[in-house]
Amino acid sequence: MKKVLITGASGQLGVSLQLDDYDVIRTDIFPQVDQENFTILDITNKDKVKNLLEAEEPDVIVHLAAMTNVDSCEGNYEQAKLINVEGTKNLLNNFTGKFIFVSSDYVFDGEDGPYSEDDNVNPLNVYGKTKLEGEESVRKLSNDWVILRTNVVWNIGGNFKASFADWVVEELQNNRQIRIVADQWNNPAWTVDIGQVIETLIKYDANGLYHHGSSHVINRYDFACMIANVYELNPSLIEPITTKELNQTAQRPLKCGLITKKLENDFNFTPSDTVLDIKAAKSHTEI
């Protein structure tokens, strides 16, 4: 049985990544007491990374750990680089097996999305730049790698700060007005779907760069309204605004999203429907 080490296993994607057919070692800087085979790991600590990898000898690393708060990254470049770039290098420098790195559509500038694997990268913010540097480290330091770019990673029901969808549900359930940008376009990816893609990449010993997302590129406002409708919450509480009005710290690429044709062709992958994903997530939380 292959041994798979997951970094960032306490995050919304890490929790959704089950990998039942593998010997899984879950790691994160924060403890997760209800998970088996869980190890606290700070990927920025070279010695701790080296010692753990020597002790566990994993066949595969699924690298999910990252600084993902885009605005926090913008104001803390050194910290973002330490985690997203140097932490990635620490793993790669002590590992020779299959390395799966989850990246982002924020490596693009959003001028002409959605994007394929062949399109030119041009990140606008620190988060995107450090994820791209992480990608470059993977290509340079690993002989057996997969880079999986995805976008607007979401989950509902786990109370994860990083989940846009969780936040929308919580705010609307509390009858609070929310302002959502209507000019940022992506094809949002449910963590359960991403987890299944990662399992497929491991199963078929994939190599190279892949893009993942749902079947339709939509704006954030429409995504929020879909969530409200499925959860039978009040969509009139959602106010559409522009990115300029929101005045976020970090510049956002506007017209993004990812083309999944390569994933479809190589692994018979079928992109999911966002509304059906939201309904499935709702049914999961009601069980």
- Per domain, the residue ranges of the chain are 3-220+246-286
pLDDT band at 164 (very low <50, low <70, confident <90, very high): confident
Phi, psi of 5 (to 5 degrees): -105, 125
Whether 83 and 231 have beta carbons less than 8 Å apart is answered as: no
| pLDDT for res 157 | 80
Read off the tokens for 33. Answer: 């007491």
Locate 215 and state its tokens. 């079947």
Whole-angstrom distance, CA of residue 155 vs CA of residue 26: 19
Q: What is the pTM of this model?
A: 0.94
> Is the pLDDT at 46 greater than 80, yes or no?
yes
As a whole-number percent, the residues of the chain with pLDDT over 70 amount to 95
* Residue count of the chain: 287
* Architecture of the domain defined by 3-220+246-286: 3-Layer(aba) Sandwich (3.40)
Q: How confident is the model at residue 284 (pLDDT cuts 50, 70, 90)?
A: confident
Task: Yes or no: say if 128 and 136 are a contact pair by the CB < 8 Å rule.
Answer: no
Q: What is the pLDDT of residue 163?
A: 80
